[in-house]
Amino acid sequence: MTTRTTYWLEYAWLDTCVEPGVAVEVADGRVTAVRTEVPAPPSGAEILRGLTLPGLANAHSHAFHRALRSTVQVGSGTFWTWRELMYSFADRLTPDTYHALARAVYAEMALAGISCVGEFHYVHHAPDGTRYADPNAMGEALIAAAADAGIRITLLDTAYLSAAILNEHRGEPPNAHQRRFSDGSAEAWAERCSVLKERDHARIGAAIHSVRAVPAGQLATVARWAEDRRSPLHVHLSEQTAENDACLAAHGVTPTRLLADHGVLGPRTTGVHNTHLTDEDIALLGGTGTGTCMCPTTERDLADGIGPAVALQRAGSPLSLGSDSHAVIDLLEEARAMELNERLRTRTRGHWTAAALLRAASADGHAALGWNDAGAIETGMLADLTTIALDSVRTAGPVPRLGAETAVFAATAADVRHTVVAGRHVVRDGAHTLVSDVPQALARAVEALRT
């Protein structure tokens, strides 16, 4: 039985401009028609007042990091001291507690206008490294959590096999905290994650945690797995200068060159962060069409640095955005931060238009996650919509034709009024329709990991 709905958008961003009065017809979760110059809602239409964008794509998430919010803001430290606290939360996760936390985190994302998440998932096994009865119990918990929260997910099942680069041929064995991340070898990783099945709301991709966590001789196994399935492949890349130094010491090349030499780079691959790169690295990434996922709120929270996003994009690397550690969950802030970080670095303005930043947060983010049929309000695309209020204390005043600029440079996640996923109203008037009390769900799930 076909399910049909018409949404009337007071204003809609249609990639190049803001159009007033747009009717979007939906059948079975896809857009079947887009009609402009519709001044009043058609009879029976669902009304979305404000500026409607395509659903936003959060291209890089570690759901359990949400439990660290504020806790890691006490005192000072480095990425490496932050990592020790992160491990303490990872140690306490079970399939049930991870489902509860991820369900609440994904509901928070829906409230922020995010319709699709890329979950960079590496907490695979029990704390001592033994497999659960279902070896993919943790991944299945995340897939179920996304369904319960009403959003799409690309589960980027992550190979994480070593604690550090030991030498040219092998890595240092996982430490006590990392044992649950490891399958022992890339072949065992591939065997386990091959069992995962895609669903209407879920796609399966692969990830290499980093060059320090997957020995060089096993990189190609992960790359082949993704290539055989035409799946997205993500990798943390040059987030820390210590990673670069260790790679140069062991292999005589940068992490980017090491990945290139082992067949990892390419148009379905996305490097996450890509912060500390050489000119040759940038040319390699751009020349192979490898994407870049910038996570500005995490990168500044961890004092990682500002990546060369402008140079990467000019070289041919498509840009997407992620909230990573969830210091905040706000894709509008990520888009704004990418531009403002570059302004601080260069002391010049206007590196990206608002439209380009919105594309990074929508169409290009979806493409990085393997959803090429999402991220635009067009016939045939998935009916995922995000509506931002134009009458809040942050957004009131500008003329509607500047809606894209208002969304990127003034609005926050708090201004999201509606989120529609596959034609279903998941957030209506700022309230989640599937998770009744998202703040309480978050509080309970985080508290469960403290005890």
**C-alpha to C-alpha distance for 375 and 371, rounded to whole angstroms:** 8
* Other beta carbons less than 10 A from residue 134's beta carbon: 12
397-430 pLDDT per residue, tens:
999 999 999 999 999 999 999 999 999 999 999 9
311-334 pLDDT per residue, tens:
999 999 999 999 999 999 999 999
Active site residue 324: yes
User: Strand (E) positions, 334-449?
Assistant: 385-388, 416-421, 424-428, 431-432
Q: What is the reported pLDDT for 450? A: 85
Using pLDDT thresholds of 50, 70 and 90, give the confidence band for residue 3.
confident
81 or 295, greater pLDDT: 295
91-128 pLDDT per residue, tens:
999 999 999 999 999 999 999 999 999 999 999 999 99
Selecting among 99, 121, 124, 273, the annotated active-site residue is 273
Selecting among 281, 324, 330, 364, the annotated active-site residue is 324
**C-alpha to C-alpha distance for 136 and 125, rounded to whole angstroms:** 8
156-214 pLDDT per residue, tens:
999 999 999 988 888 999 999 999 999 999 999 999 999 999 999 999 999 999 999 99
33-66 pLDDT per residue, tens:
999 999 999 999 999 999 999 999 999 999 999 9
Q: Which residues contact 166 (CB under 8 A, 6 or more apart)?
A: 172, 250
127-160 pLDDT per residue, tens:
999 999 999 999 999 999 999 999 999 999 999 9
Do 103 and 435 meet the contact criterion of CB atoms below 8 Å apart?
A: yes
Residue bearing tokens 């379905």: 268
Q: In the predicted model, is pLDDT for residue 363 greater than 80?
A: yes
- Burial pattern 225-248, b for ≥16 Cβ within 10 A else e, equals bbbebebbbbbbbbbbeebbebbe
Q: In the predicted model, is pLDDT for residue 79 greater than 90?
A: no
Q: Identity (one letter) of the amino acid at 51?
A: L
Question: Is-above-0.95 flag for pTM?
Answer: yes
Taking alpha carbons only, the member of 68, 62, 180, 193 closest to residue 118 is 62
Strand partners of residue 119 = 61, 155
